[in-house]
Structure 1
Amino acid sequence: MALETQDVPRLELEAVIGFNGHVFSGLKVHPDGEHLIYPLGSTVILKGIADGKQRFLHGHTNNVSCISVSKNGEYIASGQVNFMGFKAMIIIWDYAQQTIYAQLLLHKAKVEALAFSPNDKYVVSLGGQDDGSIVVWNIETKQAICGSPASAHSAGHCLTVQYLNTNDNVFVTAGSGTLRVWELDLANRKIRPTECQTGKLKRTVKCVEISEDDEFMFCGTTSGDIMKINLKTGLLCDCGPVKTKYSLGVNVLKILKSGDLLVGSGCGIFTLCSRTNFKILKKVQLEKGVTSIALRGESQQIFVGTEAAQMYRLTIGDFKAQLISTGHSTAVSDIAIPFGTSELFATCSGEDIRLWHIDKPKELLRITVPNMTCNSLHLMSDGHSIISAWNDGVIRVFAPESGRLMLIIHNAHRMGVTAIAGTRDSKRIISGGGDGQVCVWELHPWGQRLLETMKEHKATVACIKIKSDDKECVTASSGVCIIWDIVRFVSLQRVIANTLFRTVCYHPEEYQIITSGTNRKVAYWDVYDGSTIRELEGSQSGAINDMHISHDGKHFVTGGDDKLVKVWDYMEGVVTHIGIAHGGSITSIGICSNNRTLVSTSADGAILRWRFPHPPSS
């Protein structure tokens, strides 16, 4: 059964939690002063500064790698990455209509940087390391005017491009072993470079800012200093700070009206420094490397983005950082939605567990276990604890209000705890590990007791689901799902397929289970005899990583490596709706118990909230 996505109704995306803080200068303030613009996965997000409302620009086929906004705010340009050997697309968006104005396709594998000319006549694009070319495009005709290798040496690699403020025909490129001023010769359709002379100073330039009068450019380097270069002569005229260089390099610069500089470093230090001698005037420490600085209007309100997927707001006056947005900066491993309530959900990513409010995409609690990875989590039905599975073989139980560590089970599994679930009565935990073992733990006020270790899986346990009466559970692993009696601790049934099972669910009536995994099939199985009832083609490309059944059992949702959220009719076995917005593989998915909201997470750290299209029948 081929899935023709274009014929299937689209899911309505309600909110996105996250921001790709690894895109340099990816956070922008639109010239209207009312919206932030930033990438997450393959989506460009427009967010109202006052009301927090989000709108989404969909069109890229892979992660957005750079963003530029035209000076008058009419256009947004965004470039993407692609697989080796494939062209990477640039999209120019009409800001007012929020539609695609042009799609430009020349660069291979990655678009590194983009810049609009001051009068919005042209946009210049820089290819990534595997492409190495620079192209000037005419915005009106949507055509390339001319192109050139970005660097004179094959070893040189350009990282950034910046247009002058007053001249549509001059721009600057910089990077590793290259710093050039280019002039556009429109009549001959050529761009001609002039090398800047930095003498004995050899630097890799990460960012460039040009003074308002186009006399000087300031270049932030990986060495942690700033070079000031005369644009008329192309000569170095200053470099600093001399003594205290910025640790882990200067990632991003912004020039204020006063001429002073805002500097964001790789170690998270954000400073205001003097234009004359680069002396630090004000300083604040943020979480992880600073990658974006955006200014709002004349009021000098500053928005800063970091590699930790966090956004801050500051003013020049007090220079105190106010955290306005948080997100995961690495792949989200699991999502947990509590039974019977639809106000909260929890996610885990890397060393973090975070609790979110579902209506206002706001982080309520963060629990961090440094240098460990949380593989799976579950919110206990009584609401008193978060149980979590960690790669160091430990089960950790936390209080959901305070994040306090309530219980720790050491050496739960030899090769890391990979899956976890709690019973409805909140008295037992079932855990699965990289060793293939399934353990049943009894919880007591004074601690825990291991009731049984069940050893039939030969590979990592990927998923555990418990039957509503707390007497049975099903576990998924490579090639086999096993239904266990967790009162007598024996296996009742096996379902076997030539696949790496990633996920399994009980139908609410509990006479069937459905499974999926690397073979891209969704299979329905009879619980009592383990026979296959039906098999659906779940995806045309890539594994299905997670699924969840609605509480009424009428629908289920799947997500996987094809980056599509699919809502299925359980009885008909057909897709009713498709959600297209994820830029990375979907890692986990869940329907809230009121059947009104669907939450999905992905490998790029994104959390997406969708309107579930089949509300409960009243």
Structure 2
Amino acid sequence: MESNCVPRLELETVWGFNGHVPSGLRVHPDKEHLIYPLGSTIILKRIKDGKQDFLHGHTNNVSCVSVSKSGSYIASGQVNFMGFKAVVIIWDYAQRTVYAQLQLHKAKVEAVDFSPDDRYLVSLGGQDDDSIVVWNVETKQAVCGSPASANSTGHCLTVQYSNTDSNVFVSAGSGTLRVWELDLLNRKIKATDCQTGKLKRIVKCIEISEDDQFIYCGTTTGDIMKINMKTRLLASCGPVKAKYSLGVSILRILKSGNLLVGSGCGTFTVCCADNFKPLKEVQLDKAVTSIALRGEAQQFFVGTEAAQMYRFGYDDFKAELISSSHSRAVNGAAMCFGTSELFATCSEEDIRVWHVDRPKELLRITVPNMTCTSLDFMTDGHSIISAWNDGKIRVFAPESGRLMLIIHNAHKTGVTAIAGTRDCKKIISGGGEGQVRVWELQPHGHRLLETLKGHKATVACIKIRGDDKECVSASCEGACIIWDIVRFVSLQMVIANTLFKTVCYHPDINQIITSGTDRKVVYWDAYDGSAIRELEGSQSGAVNGMHISHDGRHFVTGGDDKLVKVWDYMDGVITHIGTAHGGSVTSIKICSNNRTLISTSADGAIIRWRFPHPSTS
């Protein structure tokens, strides 16, 4: 059913960037493309018009990225589960295909870098592996390897090749800073420790000067060490007084010799390479994790931990935000009723409103230290209703983000599901304790109409029938209950051996469909609660999100297998599959015009697809 003969969904746009990957944002030597990771995917984005290409091949989140000096190759490493090998992939840039898969490291690949002539790739394993391996790019074989650091020091965090010598590279980390020389004849690498005297530092990043004379090391204590590469001795360390708060996270050297410095507190600075005196400075929201130079460094790009990308000009040194996205898992998505132009998503502490055609956020609503678990647009488009883990329901204006209403103590153990009626007069909410509550919205407030008790575990999803007379709630205990929300009684219950994740009403037929951790999609008769049909929704992992088209002819699913699937409702077969997500799909929605499909995932990605079955009307 999920074979290669099933047509692929046409991917249109991806919102997202994993800003937690050190030096994850790169500019290709052609100066036309940005390269960056998102989940298990590498994205190539054309700077001029935003057109995107995607490199798929990793089975888990990408942990490091490097681009060869010629631009012919991209290398990326990933994390994996304990006890499993973590792969390094070399990509052919021109063909956009996998050139080689290299497997020696355990659990995680910490860093990769190419030699200046593209002949070799050096890779560094994570803390559980702590080995360095040199690979021959042409033969796709390992040349040699060695433990990354001595037993008396901590683990290694980063590695970088020399700019002029393909036999020399540098590694650094917790109490370790080494210059390595490749002995190709004997297939060995020999390490020489750099002498830093009494200075004991954890080095997070290194940058080697263009002539290979000096190594600059950014440390967790907020200073920069300058090491003479030939003598392996400490040349200087600074700044002495105004150290960078929360450490130096990224360094880049400009053609002028000055240093670009990014810190853990979001400070981004140009400083003198001799005395580390700041020359220009700007404050960003979150930790700077990437700096990518474009051409002669008159323009450069900066990536932050909060999944933001900025463009800078060297002369004015002003930050232009070119991309922003969720830095954590997206918990839910909602389409604005009656229009296919706006949608909203929610994550840890914010709600964001997006325009379908432009990958830029229109509005961000932030509630610090709280998590938004679910959201919905009221059908008149005048408000966004949202569920929060602090037990409150918050209603916001979608244009200004103004808080219009807050319902305190809506559910004791957090609000987990929410939906609004078509007449915009009621909100139905579900909580962690298993209760379903019906709220009436009033001109200057709200009142609780009824508490519906029937579930014994968290309510995962609530959907309201089109006539506003019934709703269905799905719970993690394995029960779905259909409620009469006029008389406030339960009409029917369906039970399955699963943790229900989502439920939908069919718009024309008196049926509901459910999905959950048993990987099944089940059709139920809403009158008598009998199972009508059972489909294999996924071959691996739970089905987390589901939505039925407005004409009822098709529905879509997404789950832990990272696949987006379009189904024919009557035939019960998959018509199209989408394969771009790098994390578990968390929610999925079809626009009201049946032309666009929006899916979100646990890696913070939002993806827009072309829906393959547009309405005939």
TM range (shorter): over 0.9
Aligned AA for 1:248?
L
Which residue of structure 1 lines up, in the alignment, with residue 119 of structure 2?
A: 121
Aligned to 2:536: 537
Which residue matches 1:423? 421
1:272 and 2:243 matched: no
- How do residues 440-479 of structure 1 correspond to structure 2 at under 5 angstroms? 440-477=438-475, 478-479=477-478
Equivalent pair of 1:522/1:535 in contact (CA under 8 Å): yes
Q: Distance in 1 between matches of 2:451 and 2:84?
A: 49
Unaligned segments of structure 2, at least 5 residues: none
| Aligned residues: CA RMSD | 1.1
Q: CA deviation at 1:617?
A: 2.7
1:76-95 matches, within 5 Å, as 76-95=74-93
Q: How does 1:286-325 map to 2 (within 5 A)?
A: 286-325=284-323
| SS at 2:459 equivalent | coil
Match for 2:351: what amino acid?
I
Q: TM-score, normalised by structure 1?
A: 0.98
Confirm whether residue 490 of structure 1 aligns to residue 489 of structure 2: yes
- Partner amino acid for 1:191? I
Find the aligned partners of 1:448 and 1:97 in 2 and give their Cα distance: 59
Identity of aligned residues (%): 80
Once residues 510 and 41 of structure 1 are traced to their aligned partners in structure 2, the CA distance between those partners, rounded to angstroms, is 38
* Alignment pair present for 1:597 and 2:600: no
Structure 1 counterpart of 2:41, one-letter code: T
532-541 or 248-257, which moves further after superposition?
532-541
Superposed counterparts of 1:401-440, under 5 Å:
401-440=399-438
Partner of 2:558: 559
The correspondence for 1:162, drawn from 160, 163, 188, is: 160
Query: Which amino acid counterpart does residue 531 of structure 1 have in structure 2?
Result: S
Equivalent residue pairs, number: 616
TM alignment of 1:20-99, pairs within 5 A? 20-99=18-97
SS at match of 2:358: coil
Aligned-residue offset at 1:339: 2.1
Q: Which residue, 324, 330, 351 being the options, matches 1:326?
A: 324
CA distance in 2, matches of 1:224, 1:401: 41
2: CA distance, partners of 1:177 / 1:551: 61
Amino acid at match of 1:571: M
Displacement of 1:4 after TM fit?
A: 3.8
Which residue type is aligned with residue 322 of structure 1?
E
Q: Kindly indicate whether residue 521 of structure 2 is the aligned counterpart of residue 522 of structure 1.
A: yes
Shift of residue 348 of structure 1?
A: 0.2
The within-5 A match list for 1:173-188 is 173-188=171-186
Instruction: Note if contact 2:254-2:297 (Cα within 8 Å) is conserved in structure 1.
Output: no
How far does residue 280 in structure 1 lie from its aligned partner after superposition?
Answer: 1.2
- Please say if residues 5 and 578 of structure 1, whose CA atoms lie closer than 8 Å, have aligned partners that are also in contact: no
Deviations 1:302-333 (A, max 9, x none): 10000000000112211111111000001111
Letter in 2 for 1:156: G
1:507 matched to 2:506? The reply is yes
| Distance (Å, rounded) in 1 between the aligned partners of 2:247 and 2:544 | 38
Unpaired runs of 5+ in structure 1?
none
Q: Distance in 1 between matches of 2:601 and 2:49?
A: 26
CA-CA distance at 1:474 after TM superposition: 0.3
Measured after TM superposition, the shift of residue 7 of structure 1 is: 3.4
1:299, distance to aligned residue in structure 2 (A): 4.7
Equivalents in 2 of 1:307, 1:289: separation in Å? 5
Contact 2:419 2:428 in 1 (8 A): yes
Q: TM-score, normalised by structure 2?
A: 0.98
Cross-structure match for 1:368: 366
Q: Aligned-pair distance for 1:397?
A: 0.5
Cα 1:410–1:111 shift into 2, 3 Å: same
Q: State the match for 1:198 in structure 2.
A: 196
SS of 2:494 mapped into structure 1: strand
Helix, strand or coil at the partner of 1:223 = coil
**How far is 1:240 from its partner?**
0.6
Alpha carbons 1:77, 1:114 under 8 Å: kept: yes
Residues 466-504 of structure 1: CA distance to partner in whole angstroms, max 9, x if unpaired? Answer: 000001000000221000000011000001111111100
1:586: which partner in 2?
A: 585
Bigger shift: residues 291-300 or 523-532? 291-300
Determine helix, strand or coil for the equivalent of 1:498: coil
Kept after mapping to 2: 8 A contact 1:88/1:109: yes
Larger CA deviation: 595-604 vs 525-534: 595-604
Question: How far apart, in 2, do the equivalents of 1:260 and 1:442 lie?
Answer: 62
Contact 2:504/2:512, CA 8 A, preserved across alignment:
yes
Does structure 2 retain, via aligned residues, the 8 Å contact 1:174–1:207? Answer: yes
Report the Cα distance in structure 2 between the residues aligned to 1:69 and 1:603, rounded to whole angstroms: 26
Pair 1:208 & 2:206 matched: yes
